[in-house]
Structure 1
């Protein structure tokens, strides 16, 4: 079999994840049942248990599919900053954080809305569900905090973490509104990731410095 060819098993797994992402986004973790996922995915309950084992692990799989390419891109951009600048600017660091996340704006409207809703859910679900999501983004979160600590040594780790959390909140707000008719980004093409990134960086950089 050729590498990269989807098999019925991987097709089924991806279908389950896609349906689960939409349902978790719309209904939250508690409001989504495995039976509702099974019904909308057109599979049997045994398939969900075979691939994931539990609802918590299915939620984790959705987060992993969303987070890993974003985290990989963030870490790549951070490494480029380390190579190019002894002390990067706040603007450059924020760009490395925001741009990979805002590339969601280039997706079709339906996918954009679902992904944005799901990312919002990841921040508002009660424990331990919220921690499942946080764990998948932990590597890049710590890398960004390390970089910010180098650039802003006068600020404590807790101060930087608090500000970083506000940056993520602003990011998710922009993502969530991008697919809506009265979006904050109206007048900007949804695929114009550069413009969206620049606007957010200009707004957030002074707050990081203060």
Structure 2
């Protein structure tokens, strides 16, 4: 049976997918390994076998998606000239597109990123510090080169605002509530988001 812990070779994947959903909904402190085991359809002992602790599982959920940040950094480094007229647009594309290209199936991951970024206790965990901050510093350094005359703190705050806008865009249900069930589709939304981030950087 599919729900038995020894069924199939994908037990670890099922646990990671379930953990991503539950952590996104309940937050780190509101989630238990027992909840995740139930969501994954496996025994609690199997979760502990694969991940040992809740923090180890939490980090593994983000590590499982780290290819996104790796791709963002790769695209940033591939920009040939940060002095070119379209350099800002290309930096924003490198920042946004690997996330957008994940598609709707990554909704829970995007919600989880937003939750972790906003959690005052996130500094107690290595997720942001180890998996996001190195990439963030590369983007901030690129922004400083493109926009050198901005005041101290501008580039860092703009990067964080861009993160908030990008991750918030995963909440289509909020958009549906505000628009009485109607709103721009994904392509329009992403174009608006791109323009919003670029304008904030250029004219802020």
Calculate the aligned-residue CA RMSD, in Å.
Answer: 2.7
Separation (CA, whole Å) in 2 of partners of 1:60 and 1:157? 32
Tell whether 2:36 aligns with 1:40.
no
Q: In the alignment, what sits opposite 1:98? A: 96
Give the 3-state SS of the residue equivalent to 1:153 in structure 2: coil
Name the counterpart of 1:186. Answer: 183
State the partner residue of 2:120. 126
Deviates more, 1:174-183 or 1:195-204: 174-183
TM-score, normalised via structure 1 length: 0.79
Residue pairs, 1:1-210, within 5 angstroms: 11-66=10-65, 68-81=66-79, 83=80, 85-88=81-84, 89-104=87-102, 106-107=103-104, 111-128=105-122, 131-134=125-128, 135-155=130-150, 158-177=153-172, 181-182=176-177, 186-188=183-185, 190=186, 192=187, 195-209=188-202, 210=204
Q: Is the 8 A contact 1:56 1:129 kept in 2?
A: no
Q: Residues 55-81 of structure 1: CA distance to partner in whole angstroms, max 9, x if unpaired?
A: 011111111122x12112212211221
Report the alpha carbon displacement of residue 39 of structure 1 after superposing the two structures with TM.
2.2
Deviates more, 1:154-163 or 1:89-98: 154-163
